[in-house]
Structure 1
Amino acid sequence: MRTLALFEEAPYQCNFNARVLAVSEQGVALDQTLFYPTGGGQPGDQGHFLLPDGSVVAVVGTQRDPLHRSIIWHQLKEGAPVLSPDMELQGCLDWERRYLHMRMHTCLHLLCSIISAPVTGCSIGTNKGRLDFDLPDSTLDKEYITRSLNELINRGLEVSVRLLSSCEYDSLLEFAHIRTVTPALMQGVVRIVKIPGLDLQPCGGTHVRNIAEIGQVVCEKIEKKSRHNRRVTLRLT
């Protein structure tokens, strides 16, 4: 059993048709989905299913199976009708929420191009996001980060995605900012997100096509979380 991850090829698509593969305590698995599953600091998508009888079922969360990573489970709102295998349905994303995640996720990649240090943690919200950096001694400045990010965003660079074999990825490792996390292999390949001249790293998340879509941002907070950890929080304006 495997779920085709439509969001990888069509991150701007909102609606899709699918067939139920299985129903369990983990949720509902479909043969294909646009719902991004929680991972890499990005929350799982929400939205709803439209059933054959016309009823609407809210999807409140999306996760990969912890053992079989190619299976994606959709959690339904409590009290939802029971779905059955082979049922045909239509899925609809909460697009506004997803697009905010896309803008912030791409912005955090830009932040990596400004701060030259390994990333040790990530969290993405609808209007805020943060990265943790391994920085024992820090001279980070909120105003500098805000100004630098907005200057980069105004350059309007395209964002591209490549799939590399594990061997090809090893040859690019020196360009990646994430040192403490082993990139996830799906079907033997690593998904690489590239912002030309600025950032190149493994990432399974959804991103905007052009960094200009991020809009203006503010570095809201810089925190010392431990001796070697600095947390930088950004906010979309």
Structure 2
Amino acid sequence: MRVNALYRDDFYLSTCEAVVTAVHDDGGIELNQTCFYATSGGQPGDTGQLERADGTKIALGQTKHGAGKDVIIHVPLENEPRPEVGETLVLHVDWPRRYRLMRMHTACHLLSVICSYPITGAAVGEEESRVDFDMSETIDKDEVTAKLMELVGQNHPVYQQWITDDELAANPDIVKSKNVRPPVGLGRVSLVCIGENSSIDSQPCGGTHVSETQEVGQIHIAKIEKKGKENRRFRIRFGTPGEEARQRGDHND
């Protein structure tokens, strides 16, 4: 059954009511609507809880797509209770985790502004994200960090616009990713825009993001790795390099 994915229109929605439409043999739960993001485009799916009418909770270990992008399956942890089809549940996203992923995903977009090379891979994480670029040039990680923090500090608005699948097909150059294509087949594609009138960036993306760059907070490029002759992997982490060194117990004697 096609689900109404509420997060596509409101990244900050962390709770809603929904009706169970199917329960799979392996325990996976389908709902008529959801605020839980399903794993896609390098961003992990949401975790959290489904609350039943009697107050008991069903803890979720992951959220994923089914056979297509119009199917979202909420996967409980082991030995959790199974709801009944037709039962109404209250959904609670693990918000601190989701918000960190939103901040990180937005940081990845900012990095793609500074490094204007084709993207060959990406993965968004709570503590660290990575973006791979098709590039052979040597670049200084501290310089990239400074440029990232400049964009963060300028507090540009981050918002989404919608285009049709046909409009995307007619403008393929707006896609920065070299290997992963934006999700199509739902009739519309989300453009994540940064800056007034997309002055900083605009690219198709189905992930979740913060509403202004300042929310990203302090980030830095922890490492740039050479992955092949023409591939560089950038690792983004929260905090400053100095904080990271202190956490590792490094000392400058």
Specify if TM > 0.5.
yes
Q: Which residue of structure 1 aligns with residue 34 of structure 2?
A: 33
Q: How much does 1:229 deviate?
A: 1.5
| Distance across 2 between alignment mates of 1:108 and 1:180 | 16
Q: How much does 1:169 deviate?
A: 1.9
TM-score if structure 2 supplies the norm length?
Answer: 0.89
Q: How much does 1:171 deviate?
A: 4.4
Q: How much does 1:164 deviate?
A: 0.7
Higher strand share: 1
Q: How much does 1:57 deviate?
A: 1.1
Quick one: which amino acid aligns to residue 139 of structure 2? L
| Distance across 1 between alignment mates of 2:54 and 2:165 | 45
8 Å contact 1:3–1:72 — kept in the other structure?
Answer: yes
Residues 65-111 of structure 1, C-alpha deviation per residue, up to 9 Å, x if partnerless?
A: 1x232010001010011211111110101000000000000010000
Q: Which residue of structure 2 aligns with residue 197 of structure 1?
A: 199
Partner-residue secondary structure (3-state), 1:100: helix
8 Å contact 2:182–2:206 — kept in the other structure?
Answer: no
Alignment of 1:70-109 (within 5 A): 70-109=70-109
| Distance across 2 between alignment mates of 1:10 and 1:152 | 23
| Distance across 2 between alignment mates of 1:192 and 1:126 | 23
Aligned pairs, number: 235
* 2:52 is equivalent to residue 43 of structure 1: no
| Distance across 1 between alignment mates of 2:9 and 2:53 | 26
8 Å contact 1:178–1:201 — kept in the other structure?
Answer: no
| Distance across 1 between alignment mates of 2:178 and 2:187 | 20
- In structure 2, stretches of 5+ residues that fail to align are 240-253
Quick one: which amino acid aligns to residue 209 of structure 2? H
8 Å contact 2:219–2:236 — kept in the other structure?
Answer: yes
Q: How much does 1:127 deviate?
A: 2.2
| Distance across 1 between alignment mates of 2:193 and 2:178 | 17
RMSD after superposition: 1.3
Quick one: which amino acid aligns to residue 60 of structure 1? G
Change in CA separation of 1:229 and 1:26 when aligned onto 2, cut-off 3 Å: farther
8 Å contact 2:27–2:82 — kept in the other structure?
Answer: no
Partner-residue secondary structure (3-state), 2:13: coil
Partner-residue secondary structure (3-state), 1:177: coil
Q: Which residue of structure 1 aligns with residue 181 of structure 2?
A: 182
Which stretch of the first structure deviates more once superposed, 140-149 or 163-172?
A: 163-172
Q: How much does 1:176 deviate?
A: 3.0
Change in CA separation of 1:166 and 1:68 when aligned onto 2, cut-off 3 Å: closer
Q: Which residue of structure 2 aligns with residue 164 of structure 1?
A: 163
Q: Percent identity?
A: 39
* 2:228 is equivalent to residue 229 of structure 1: no
8 Å contact 1:118–1:180 — kept in the other structure?
Answer: no
TM-score if structure 1 supplies the norm length?
Answer: 0.95
Q: How much does 1:179 deviate?
A: 3.0
Quick one: which amino acid aligns to residue 57 of structure 2? V
Partner-residue secondary structure (3-state), 1:226: coil
Partner-residue secondary structure (3-state), 1:183: coil
- In structure 1, stretches of 5+ residues that fail to align are none
| Structure 1 stretches of 4+ moved >6 Å | none
Q: Which residue of structure 2 aligns with residue 215 of structure 1?
A: 217
Residues 175-229 of structure 1, C-alpha deviation per residue, up to 9 Å, x if partnerless?
A: 3322332221142222111112222111000000001100111100000112222
Q: How much does 1:48 deviate?
A: 0.3
Quick one: which amino acid aligns to residue 36 of structure 1? Y
| Distance across 2 between alignment mates of 1:60 and 1:202 | 28
8 Å contact 2:175–2:181 — kept in the other structure?
Answer: no
Partner-residue secondary structure (3-state), 1:35: coil
